[in-house]
């Protein structure tokens, strides 16, 4: 300590720059523009609340924790370019991202190739499990969510359904897992339609689904895509004819006007751990509204997990951080979404879900 004091005094006398307090920095890649901009912004909100919470308690490694946000624009190559900047220029301790599984997978593969710790906050495709050794998930994958959805759809008495999903890793994973599990439970798929995200109209796909004469329509969609699907289904009269069920409803809820989604059934990841609304109250106080999606809590918890791992590592050295993630994941931490514990593949072992129906323009929990 005396030598440090002598150094600081000498530096001051000589007019040398004294090192300032250095933040501990982590990087994120989110869709802050493009079709998933609403979802990306909601993730950013959750992360900001976590940063405030962590720094109020003293930060990480005795320093403030800071996040650098990079915009993927919902484009895989742009996401990888952003990650490359975070790794090589910003030299962050770890990277969180992205939102869409179709982007999270190549992004994670790039980070694994660099030996960089990667935390997946919200992408649920089963293919995420195979990203690589330095990639870890803070959310349950789609084989678990589609089993929940298939059981819920059958509980309504809808035994023959038309299935619509986007043409990427997430959508294909939802479609294949739902179809397999629904059939195993005694259900029938009248048709499966894999559509291209970002179209200006989905009328052709909707009319194909209608022609299969289902009991109900089951679909999954990103933000603006889901809003357009609901609007055109309404305009074609399909919303009045048969029930509609959304797998992970809040991905598109904020982009769907109330008149097009009233009465929509569905499911999503659970917002908060049962019986604890601390995070909900913090969100409402900060942003003047209830959750914009079900996903901000997972982004919030991902930052809590990252902070715990960095403290466990005792440094930002990549190998130390990866070892610490495994150690923290094995022991588990408690977050807004419940316990986060990881299996041998680095994937979350348990995942809460909720059943929903849109009432008065808002997703409402069905008990």
Cβ atoms within 10 Å of 63's Cβ, excluding its own: 15
The whole-angstrom separation of Cα 306 and Cα 93 is 9
pLDDT band at 104 (very low <50, low <70, confident <90, very high): very high
Residue 289 is inside which H or E element, if any? none
The whole-angstrom separation of Cα 39 and Cα 223 is 7
What confidence score (pLDDT) does residue 210 get? Answer: 98
- Please state the pTM of the whole predicted model: 0.76
What confidence score (pLDDT) does residue 5 get? Answer: 39
What confidence score (pLDDT) does residue 291 get? Answer: 85
The whole-angstrom separation of Cα 352 and Cα 43 is 18
- CA angle at 44 for the pair 42 and 50, rounded to the nearest 5°: 110
Per-residue burial over 205-229, b = 16 or more CB atoms within 10 Å of its CB, e = otherwise: bbeebbebebbbbbbbbbbbbbbbb
Mean per-residue pLDDT for 205-228? 96
What confidence score (pLDDT) does residue 274 get? Answer: 66
pLDDT band at 350 (very low <50, low <70, confident <90, very high): confident
What confidence score (pLDDT) does residue 272 get? Answer: 73
The whole-angstrom separation of Cα 306 and Cα 59 is 12
First and final C-alpha spacing in the chain:
60
What confidence score (pLDDT) does residue 349 get? Answer: 86
What is the gyration radius of the CA atoms in the chain, in angstroms? 22
pLDDT at 114 over 80: yes
Residue 232: name the closest of 261, 208, 258, 201 by CA: 201
Residue 303: name the closest of 18, 7, 51 by CA: 51
Beta carbons within 8 Å of 7's beta carbon, 6+ residues apart? none
The whole-angstrom separation of Cα 295 and Cα 353 is 12
- Asked if 139 and 294 count as a contact pair (C-beta separation under 8 A), the reply is no
The whole-angstrom separation of Cα 34 and Cα 71 is 10
Using one digit for the tens of pLDDT, what is the confidence trace for 278-290? 999 999 999 999 8
Using one digit for the tens of pLDDT, what is the confidence trace for 127-177? 899 999 999 999 988 888 899 999 999 999 999 999 999 998 889 989 999
What confidence score (pLDDT) does residue 11 get? Answer: 42
What confidence score (pLDDT) does residue 199 get? Answer: 95
- Asked if 347 and 308 count as a contact pair (C-beta separation under 8 A), the reply is no
- Asked if 251 and 221 count as a contact pair (C-beta separation under 8 A), the reply is yes
């Amino acid at each position: 300590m005396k030598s440090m004091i002598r150094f600081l005094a000498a530096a001051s006398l000589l007019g040398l720059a004294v090192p300032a307090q250095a933040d501990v920095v982590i990087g994120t890649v989110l869709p802050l523009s493009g079709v998933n901009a609403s979802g990306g912004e909601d993730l950013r909100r959750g992360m900001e609340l976590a940063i405030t919470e962590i720094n109020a308690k003293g930060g990480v490694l005795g320093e403030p924790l800071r996040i650098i946000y990079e915009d993927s624009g919902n484009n895989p190559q742009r996401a990888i370019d952003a990650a490359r900047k975070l790794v090589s220029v910003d030299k962050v301790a770890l990277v969180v991202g992205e939102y869409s599984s179709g982007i999270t997978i190549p992004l994670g593969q790039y980070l694994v190739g660099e030996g960089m710790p990667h935390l997946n906050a919200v992408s649920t495709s089963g293919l995420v499990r195979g990203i690589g050794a330095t990639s870890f998930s803070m959310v349950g994958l789609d084989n678990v969510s589609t089993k929940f959805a298939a059981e819920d759809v059958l509980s309504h008495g809808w035994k023959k359904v038309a299935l619509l999903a986007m043409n990427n890793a997430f959508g294909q994973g939802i479609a294949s897992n739902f179809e397999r599990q629904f059939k195993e439970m005694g259900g029938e798929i009248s048709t499966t339609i894999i559509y291209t995200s970002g179209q200006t109209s989905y009328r052709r796909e909707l009319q194909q689904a209608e022609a299969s004469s289902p009991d109900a329509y089951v679909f999954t969609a990103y933000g603006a895509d889901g809003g357009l699907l609901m609007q055109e289904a309404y305009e074609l009269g399909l919303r009045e004819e048969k029930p509609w069920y959304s797998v992970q409803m809040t991905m598109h809820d904020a982009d769907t006007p109330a008149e097009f989604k009233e009465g929509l059934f569905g499911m999503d990841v659970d917002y908060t751990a049962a019986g604890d609304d601390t995070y909900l109250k913090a969100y409402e106080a900060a942003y003047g509204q209830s959750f914009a999606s079900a996903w901000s809590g997972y982004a919030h918890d991902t930052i809590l997990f990252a902070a715990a791992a960095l403290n466990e590592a005792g440094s930002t050295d990549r190998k130390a951080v990866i070892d610490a993630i495994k150690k923290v994941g094995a022991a588990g931490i408690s977050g807004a979404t419940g316990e986060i514990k990881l299996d041998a593949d680095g994937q979350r072992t348990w995942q809460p879900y909720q059943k929903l129906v849109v009432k008065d323009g808002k997703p409402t929990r069905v008990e």
